[in-house]
Amino acid sequence: MDIKRIFCIGRNYAAHIEELGNAPDSDCVVFMKPPSCVVPVGQPIRLPRGVGAVHHEAELVVALNGGGSDIAIEQALKHVGAFTLGLDLTLRDLQNQLKDAGKPWELCKAFDDAAPLGHWVAYRGEDLQALEFKCHVNGALRQHGQTRDMLYSVARQIQILSRTWALAAGDVIYTGTPKGVGPLQAGDSITLESDAIGRFEWSCG
Ligand code: ZN
């Protein structure tokens, strides 16, 4: 699939908001990564060096096969064409500095290789809010997500994004991460898996 744009939703799981010390009543955050950030399964992730911790954020990812503006929440899931798992890699130390300085997040979120992405599974009306997924690093469980814990459902995210952008086929949404984010090191192996989606592995270089 040709990816047109990558939207990312932040602060979408209460327990993750808490682990980063963010205010629980803040709105969901929206940011973007260029499609050039994608790392397909089987290709090594080149971690940035000398810029502090690189954190994994395991996320459900959906791809749209259509869209439009001002999409009603009841109509939103009609535009989902496929789903998978992905990593919203984040330079956490740099993000904290940028947040403190009130600066934008591109440097900590949109660097090369910041969006490892699994293989797409065609969407056939599965309940996207009843999925379970796990992230292991070197075999140790780091994140265990339940999409029912999302503060903003996938349908709500599509509704929100469509108020600002005319959504279209090829738009991809990283839907936020559950708790358990942590650092990756060169030599680590990271896997994402979900019974409904599959198992994907990357090595970090
Ligand atoms: Zn994220």
Distance from the CA of 10 to the center of ligand 1, in angstroms?
Answer: 5
Predicted local distance difference test score (pLDDT) of residue 60: 98
Q: What are the pLDDT digits (tens) for 19-78?
A: 888 876 667 899 999 999 999 999 999 999 999 999 999 999 999 999 999 999 999 999
Predicted local distance difference test score (pLDDT) of residue 63: 98
pTM of the predicted model as reported, rounded to 2 decimal places: 0.96
Domain boundaries, position 83? 5-203
Predicted local distance difference test score (pLDDT) of residue 27: 75
The whole-angstrom separation of Cα 171 and Cα 165 is: 10
Helix ranges restricted to H, 20-102: 92-101
| pLDDT band at residue 154 using 50, 70 and 90 as cut-offs | very high
- Cα angle 46, 194, 182 (rounded to 5 degrees) comes to 45
Predicted local distance difference test score (pLDDT) of residue 25: 64
Asked if 159 contacts 72 with a C-beta cutoff of 8 angstroms, the reply is: yes
Distance from the CA of 43 to the center of ligand 1, in angstroms?
Answer: 21
Distance from the CA of 176 to the center of ligand 1, in angstroms?
Answer: 4
Distance from the CA of 87 to the center of ligand 1, in angstroms?
Answer: 8
| pLDDT band at residue 100 using 50, 70 and 90 as cut-offs | very high
The whole-angstrom separation of Cα 9 and Cα 68 is: 19
Mean pLDDT, the chain, rounded, equals 96
Distance from the CA of 95 to the center of ligand 1, in angstroms?
Answer: 12
What is the number of structural domains in the chain? 1
What is the arithmetic mean of pLDDT over 13-20?
88
Distance from the CA of 68 to the center of ligand 1, in angstroms?
Answer: 24
What is the arithmetic mean of pLDDT over 136-147?
98
What's the chain's Rg over C-alpha atoms?
16
Predicted local distance difference test score (pLDDT) of residue 15: 87
Distance from the CA of 63 to the center of ligand 1, in angstroms?
Answer: 16
35: alpha, beta or left, given left = phi > 0 and alpha = psi -120 to 50?
alpha
Distance from the CA of 50 to the center of ligand 1, in angstroms?
Answer: 22
Distance from the CA of 65 to the center of ligand 1, in angstroms?
Answer: 22
Distance from the CA of 12 to the center of ligand 1, in angstroms?
Answer: 9
Distance from the CA of 21 to the center of ligand 1, in angstroms?
Answer: 15
Predicted local distance difference test score (pLDDT) of residue 17: 84
Distance from the CA of 174 to the center of ligand 1, in angstroms?
Answer: 7
Predicted local distance difference test score (pLDDT) of residue 18: 86
Which domain CATH number covers 46? 3.90.850.10
Asked if 167 contacts 161 with a C-beta cutoff of 8 angstroms, the reply is: yes
